Amino acid sequence: MCDPISIIGLGFSIGMSMYNMQQQADMANQQNAANDQWVAYQRRQSQEYAQRDESLRKNAEAAREGSLDELSAGKQTAAQEDEAKRLTTALTPEELANQAKGDPNALAGAMFSGQLNGSQEMRSAIQGHIQQAAIAARKRIAALADVQSYGGSQYGLTNRANSIFNTAGQDIRLAGNERAGSLSAYNIAKAVEPIKIVQHGGGSAAGGLAQAGAQIAGQGLGNALARNMGSA
């Protein structure tokens, strides 16, 4: 006949084993949930990084394409012509400009007082020479403006191209720096490990209870044996 104390100790040990199994199963479920959260986090980080990187890449590409478009033959020609017109206006004296607009008295001040008192034929001849000189002067000014419009004038092609290249370069460098920063942040996110579920005190507590139960059962069994031997 089995001793009651032994039966109690056996039942206690079985209970502790079942408790440990339940705790381990619960810990495994928690670990699986933590792993699933980690996988979802990594997937989200990857997708967000890909979207940011593609957006920044498109910004850099837009800056590059925009600069090439601004430097196309058609826009370069239009810019050069506009700058040549601006320079022509800026370099042309007011009298020449008015004479070009058809004002017959615009260059009258270029004649000496004695010439103004001369015969009509002489005045007409002198005015003709002055007009021819004015026409030649306007041509020289226009030619000078045309040359400067290709070079380093305020809105000349050289300055225009440099400005376009600088603006595009700044945008491309900015996008590159932001892409590098985004990649660094993503690398940090990739290094994040899943949460490790630890049974804090659970295993040791269960082991302690099992050990205590075994001790109690052992002591009970020893006392029972002692009593039996004494009665014998």
pLDDT at 128: 72
Q: How far apart are CA 42 and CA 58, in angstroms?
A: 24
Residues 6 or more apart whose CB falls under 8 angstroms from that of 111 comprise 123, 126, 127, 130
Number of domains in the chain: 1
pLDDT at 214: 45
Q: How far apart are CA 23 and CA 26, in angstroms?
A: 5
pLDDT at 5: 55
pLDDT at 231: 47
Query: pLDDT below 50 — which residues of the chain?
Result: 112-113, 202-232
Distances (CA, A) of 7 to 91, 181, 219, 225: 117, 67, 13, 14
- Residue 138 belongs to domain spanning: 4-231
Q: How far apart are CA 93 and CA 4, in angstroms?
A: 126
pLDDT at 232: 45
pLDDT at 80: 95
Cα 61 to chain centroid distance, Å, stands at 12
pLDDT at 104: 57
The runs of H, that is alpha helices, within 105-156 are 113-116, 120-150
The runs of H, that is alpha helices, within the chain are 4-70, 73-91, 94-100, 113-116, 120-150, 157-190, 202-231
CB 139 within 8 A of CB 163: no
Burial grade of 200 (CB within 10 A; 0-12, 13-18, 19 or more) = exposed
Exposure b/e, 135-154, CB count within 10 A at least 16 = b: eeebeebbeebbebbeeebe
Kindly report the pTM of this predicted structure: 0.60
